[in-house]
Chain A
Amino acid sequence: MTDLTALTIADARYKLRAKEFSAAELTEAFVATVDGGDALNAWCEKTPDLAREQAQAADARLAAGDAPSLCGIPLGIKDLFCTNGVRSQAGSKILKDFKPPYESTVTSNLWADGAVMLGKLSMDEFAMGSSNETACYGPVISPWRRKGDETKLTPGGSSGGSAAALAAGQAMATTGTDTGGSIRQPAAFTGLVGLKPTWGRCSRWGIVAFASSLDQAGPFTRTVRDSAIMLQSMASIDEKDSTSADIPVPDYEAALTGDIKGKRIGIPKEYTIDGMPAEITRFWEEGAAHLKAQGAEIVEISLPHTKYALPAYYIVSPAECSSNLARYDGVRYGQRAELSQGDGITELYEKTRAEGFGDEVKRRIMIGTYVLSSGYYDAYYTRAQKVRRLINRDFEQAFEQVDAILTPTTPSPAFGLGEKSDPLEMYLQDIFTVTVNMAGLPGISVPAGLSSDGLPLGLQLIGKAFDEANLLNTAYALETALDFSATPEKWW
């Protein structure tokens, strides 16, 4: 029998219906790889019993005929999604043992389509980080290693568990969330396809909030086709999220024709930084050449405010985070600090939050509190929102000339755990991805190839708002041309 854990969703969908194996067998195969993969530290909660139950139900549905594409497909879910009765901690100590009495809309959609939950995946605390090192569960270790080198590398972040688990064959697809690059950067680091949909495409209801005007859920998959299948289920119009867009969800898989003749692809000259490895520029040029060979027209464009996106993001996102994280007070859920004789409600808040939050989260809450405080609001927050408008305008003008934009996903391949200790250095990881969140646009990272060290690198395509169908089709054409098939050599 073929290795079930190496299959794509599209393959498994066919084979389940051809009765080559059952959903129960498929789930057992994944439960075994999850259990055998503890060295990667990707899972923070395993739910094999629930998975078996769901797989059994999926088999019944498959036997009855007319089952959705995801029926019987084993998935891993980022810890940021609230899952009914299953621990959901957002990678934070302050939410220790929190078991939501409700299910997020995105995961509800997946289960309604028959998908199977293998468990929850580790992440940077409250999705604040680019290396998974701020997770309260300890860092996730990438299944990828540099050629001839055993250094432990990051799978990226914040959705590091989602990337590592999928790259290691511990799930058939995983969910992530992306506020500044948290799906696309880890996807690039681990040789996967990572999609951040348009803001408002997937409901945010039941997803622990970090920065509400930037957060968006999306899938990690092995192929662009699987990405289309996952988005089909994850996206919806949701009454519970007043910012979920009232736009019908099209048939994404039907859009994958691979025909991009006459499409105009923009290459923004600003997407390069000092010290960026030459091989990243080479992959970028090759990607453009591939699209050109398939009939697309390559157009040089300018997005002049690109360099201001990251500093503006580090005002807007901490401001929203300081407000969203005000709810962790040690009263309604999560962990409460031990109090001393005579401590009142203020000490309860202050001690609980001092103990429960990690350093990066504290830094961001304090930055957010500072930029929103009286006397600084206009100088920092209002100005950042004005700059955000200019970034958005750059994209609007570019999309008058082009259908999609091609850039590198990250300025480097994966780095070693502990290698970046300066917060600012870590923030630079998001330099090519954060612009997309600031403008609310959809972006997808597609594996481009391996670096000279043998590590995956990704290319990012950026599309027009709510035009995921065309974006996925362009990504599909790029994927077909690049023909990336490398997987990490098993050491764990």
Chain B
Amino acid sequence: MSVDADTVRKVAKLARIAVEDHEVDPFARELSGILDWVTQLQEVDVTGIEPMTSAVPMRLKRREDTITDGNRRDDILANAPDAREGFFAVPKVVE
């Protein structure tokens, strides 16, 4: 198994997903299964091959650096689980 319980906890922490104790072992098994399967890529000779970073060769477009949209505060807040006085509201982050 390439992924142990500690690794699951570490990765879940990085991904900001709370994991209950009873979920750790099943996740470790499943993630190991997937990662063990993808290790078959190790048998491919990739010497001198550039990583492919775009599905289709294209140059990123440029445009004038001007404002195209804005003044839509209420639209933006409309879907927030908690919005007050024109702001997103979250638990206190500074002691």
Contacts and interface: CB of A to CB of B under 8 A. Distances in A.
Nearest to B40: A311
B31 A311 contact: no
The B contact surface, by secondary structure, is: loop
Given A344-B92, A346-B16, A387-B46, A366 B52 contact: no
B31 A331 contact: no
Contact-residue bracket for chain A: 35 or more
Interface string A351-375: 1011001000011011101100100
Contact of A311 (B11, B17, B38, B75): B38
Interface string B23-45: 00001001101110110111010
B86 interface: no
Nearest to A305: B44
B49 A386 contact: yes
Nearest to A199: B55
Given A322-B15, A366-B17, A390-B46, A383 B41 contact: yes
Contact of A385 (B7, B53, B81): B53
A486 to B, nearest CB: 35
Most buried by A among B18, B19, B75: B18
B56 A465 contact: yes
Contact of B46 (A386, A422, A440): A386
B7 to A, nearest CB: 7
Contacts of A392: 52
Contact of A386 (B3, B40, B50): B50
B58 interface: yes
B34 A308 contact: no
B51 A101 contact: no
Contact of B31 (A346, A350, A370, A380): A370
A348 interface: yes
B54 interface: yes
Contacts of A50: none
B44 A423 contact: no
Given A344-B92, A390-B49, A245 B58 contact: yes
A296 B61 CA distance: 39
A330 to B, nearest CB: 6
Contact of A332 (B50, B72, B80, B93): B80
B15 A363 contact: no
B67 interface: no
11 contacts: A98-B79, A101-B78, A308-B41, A314-B37, A315-B41, A331-B81, A353-B16, A385-B52, A385-B53, A388-B52, A423-B34
In order of increasing CB-CB distance, the 7 nearest A-B pairs are A440-B55, A385-B51, A336-B81, A333-B79, A354-B18, A101-B75, A350-B18
Interface of B: 3, 7-8, 11-12, 14-19, 27, 30-31, 33-35, 37-38, 40-42, 44, 46, 49-56, 58, 60-61, 63, 72, 75-76, 78-82, 88, 90-93
Interface of A: 98-101, 198-200, 213-214, 239, 242-243, 245-246, 305, 307-308, 311-312, 314-315, 322, 326, 329-336, 339, 343-351, 353-354, 357, 362-363, 365-367, 369-370, 373, 380, 382-390, 392, 422-424, 437-440, 465
